[in-house]
Amino acid sequence: MQLTFLGTGAAGGVPLWGCDCLICRRARIDVSAIRRPNCALIEADGVKLLLDAGVMDVCERFPSGSLSAILITHFHPDHVQGLFHWRWGVGELNVFAPHDVEGCADLYKYPGPLKFKHLSKFESFEVGGVRITPVPLVHSKPTLGYCIEHNGARLAYLTDSREIPPATTEFLTQWQPHTICLDCTYPPGVEGKRNHFDFPEVLELSKIYPDSYIVLMHISHSLDVWLLNHPLALTGRLSLARDGDRLDIPGLS
């Protein structure tokens, strides 16, 4: 099973409009520093699952018939804005998502070929032999993480969260994912109400899952700057995702 990051950025992206920090200046001349909206592609034995659709050109990247389904974590615009182009297409494409009566704008009213299917937490289902278990996360909208398994390979994709509920923690502890892709938006020292994890919180969470590799995503420009000045902060099982990175999730040999 493989995961490819189509985007790894927080809502504002990198470069952030109007910002003149070192990272944003770099991203304007170096495409490798750009962070687009956080979303990814899962591939396993011919199955292709799109995890969120924040990148605006997703319907161009994935022509009709190329995707098995879409998994939506929540209905904030930076995670679903790419769906709006799809509504003018033909055919059918299943979109699995959390229960959210509001959705985003008029997606529910004018879905076009998008067939929304609302999920219940911890109720597993399969798409082409890939087993998916939605798990609840704490965010400002109804939000699900996805635990994805195929042929012994186990990946937990947990974006946009300020807290992992005890039931989700218990599930992950028993399930033992090889890799956890985890929201890490902020550097240390960000005060006030937040709907995303900061780096110290992620360090603490990583201790709960000592056998899992932790890949940080949903990165803000401020965390990029902090990590540039603290290059030894990422050690051991923690790594930083970048747009275009590909992860191989090992399964049964």
Q: Is residue 251 part of a domain?
A: no
Q: Is residue 209 part of a domain?
A: yes
Interatomic CA distance for residues 141 and 129, integer angstroms: 29
Contact at 8 Å (CB) between 223 and 21? no
Helices (H) and strands (E) in the chain, counts: 7, 14
pLDDT for 191: 82
Provide the CA 78 distance to its chain's centre, in angstroms.
Answer: 11
Name which of 130, 75, 125 is nearest 97 in CA terms: 75
Task: Find the helix packing angle between 199-208 and 166-175, rounded to 10°.
Answer: 50
pLDDT for 31: 96
Q: Is residue 249 part of a domain?
A: no
User: Could you tell me which residues come within 8 angstroms of residue 202 by beta carbon, excluding any fewer than 6 positions away?
Assistant: 182, 184, 214, 216, 238
Instruction: Say how many domains are in the chain.
Output: 1
Which residues face 118 on adjacent strands? 97
Q: Is residue 57 part of a domain?
A: yes
Q: Which domain holds residue 59?
A: 2-242
Interatomic CA distance for residues 47 and 67, integer angstroms: 7
Interatomic CA distance for residues 250 and 152, integer angstroms: 8
Buried/exposed code over 55-80 (b: 16+ C-beta within 10 A; e: otherwise): beebbeebeeeebbbbbbbbbbebbb
pLDDT for 7: 98
pLDDT tens, residue by residue, 165-222: 999 999 999 999 999 999 999 999 988 778 999 999 999 999 999 999 999 999 999 9
pLDDT for 251: 85
In the chain, which residues have pLDDT < 70? 253
Interatomic CA distance for residues 186 and 180, integer angstroms: 18
Q: Is residue 250 part of a domain?
A: no
Q: Is residue 247 part of a domain?
A: no
pLDDT for 253: 58
Kindly report the CATH number assigned to the domain that includes residue 231: 3.60.15.10
Q: Is residue 69 part of a domain?
A: yes
Q: Is residue 253 part of a domain?
A: no
Contact at 8 Å (CB) between 8 and 27? no
Half-sphere exposure of 173 (CA within 13 A, CB side): 10
Name which of 133, 149, 142, 14 is nearest 74 in CA terms: 142
